[in-house]
Amino acid sequence: MSQQRHGSTPGAADGVPAFPDLPEATIARLPEYLRALHHLAETGAETVSSEGLAAAAGVNSAKLRKDLSHLGSYGTRGVGYDVALLVDQIEYILGLDKNRAVCLVGVGNLGHALAGYAGFASRGFRVVALFDADPKKVGEQINGLTVQHTDDLERVAAEESIAIGVIATPPGTAQAVADALVAAGVTSILNFAPGVLSVPSNVDVRKVDLAIELQILSFHEHRKASLTALPGGRSAQPASGDQEVVGS
């Protein structure tokens, strides 16, 4: 990405600390580390070893150390990582100290559940606006918020300086909603509608497709079935309390 200028160390040289460009794989794991750290903090732990945190986050300890080393984190050799310090570091890197404003478009079955989800607020996000195109939904109160009409999206998004939008509308309207979000200044989109969105290159999109998740599991079921068919009988070895997560 950004070629290195004047090989200085990434410390906070001046007012704005240099932003390290972490590997994508690393930043995808930071949230899991953060969750594990919060859990540890609640149990009163002051420090964690890489081994301990890795176990809590379900990863290899070497991987965890390398990940943390990327963000210049300061652990103490022989002791481990300071839990509170690491929480602050990761929250800063992820930009969670801003308590980011999020809007949700499409208040149907899924949208209702999302609008009432406490897990967003507790992990750094404020759902500040709900939108729907159906006049019957507009005006409805959900979790202290009033559903507004999609026509007001652009105005409200600007007023509340919303940078993240969630799409929970039917697949056919997802692209139009994405366009409206982009026009309203949103630069990050979380999309629950199946299908591919087309957006400007400065906008980030992440997709959650439950059917795809199930289909990947189905593949592994198929594979497991076709393996137990041929070799020695069905060896369902419980293999101790180990953890198995398929894919990434």
Partner DNA sequence: CGCGATTTGTGCACGCCTTCACAAGCGCCT
Partner DNA sequence: AGGCGCTTGTGAAGGCGTGCACAAATCGCG
Residues that bind ligand NAD (CB under 6 A): 105-111, 113-114, 117, 119, 131-134, 137, 150, 168-171, 173, 176-177, 192-194, 210
**Given the complex with ligand NAD, which of 158 and 225 has the nearer CB atom?**
158
Q: Phi-psi category of 153—alpha, beta or left, where left has phi over 0 and alpha has psi -120 to 50?
A: alpha
> What is the rounded distance in angstroms from the CA atom of residue 193 to the CA atom of residue 173?
9
- Indicate which of a second copy, DNA, ligand NAD, none lies near residue 177 (CB less than 5 to 8 Å, by partner kind): ligand NAD
- Indicate which of a second copy, DNA, ligand NAD, none lies near residue 78 (CB less than 5 to 8 Å, by partner kind): DNA
Is 37 among the residues that bind DNA (CB under 7 A)?
A: no
Binding positions for NAD(+): 106-111
DSSP summary character for residue 87: H
Of 45, 61, 123, 163, which one interacts with DNA (CB under 7 A)?
61
> What is the rounded distance in angstroms from the CA atom of residue 144 to the CA atom of residue 115?
10
- Indicate which of ligand NAD, DNA, a second copy, none lies near residue 19 (CB less than 5 to 8 Å, by partner kind): a second copy
- Indicate which of a second copy, ligand NAD, DNA, none lies near residue 95 (CB less than 5 to 8 Å, by partner kind): a second copy
- Indicate which of a second copy, ligand NAD, DNA, none lies near residue 230 (CB less than 5 to 8 Å, by partner kind): a second copy
Is 89 among the residues that bind DNA (CB under 7 A)?
A: no
Only one of the segments 72-80, 136-144, 153-161, 206-214 lies at the binding site for DNA (rule: CB under 7 A); that segment is: 72-80
Of 17, 23, 95, 116, which one interacts with DNA (CB under 7 A)?
23
> What is the rounded distance in angstroms from the CA atom of residue 139 to the CA atom of residue 110?
18
Looking at the DSSP bridge assignments, the partners of residue 141 are 146
Of 45, 94, 128, 145, which one interacts with a second copy (CB under 8 A)?
94
DSSP string computed for 18-83:
------HHHHHHHHHHHHHHHHHHHTT-SEE-HHHHHHHHTS-HHHHHHHHHHTT---BTTTBEEH
Only one of the segments 41-49, 81-89, 128-136, 205-213 lies at the binding site for a second copy (rule: CB under 8 A); that segment is: 205-213
Of 20, 35, 39, 51, which one interacts with DNA (CB under 7 A)?
51
Q: What does residue 199 show for φ and ψ, rounded to 5 degrees? A: -140, 160
DSSP summary character for residue 167: E
Identify the CA nearest to 18 among candidates 28, 29, 26, 6: 6
> What is the rounded distance in angstroms from the CA atom of residue 118 to the CA atom of residue 123?
9
**Given the complex with ligand NAD, which of 89 and 148 has the nearer CB atom?**
148
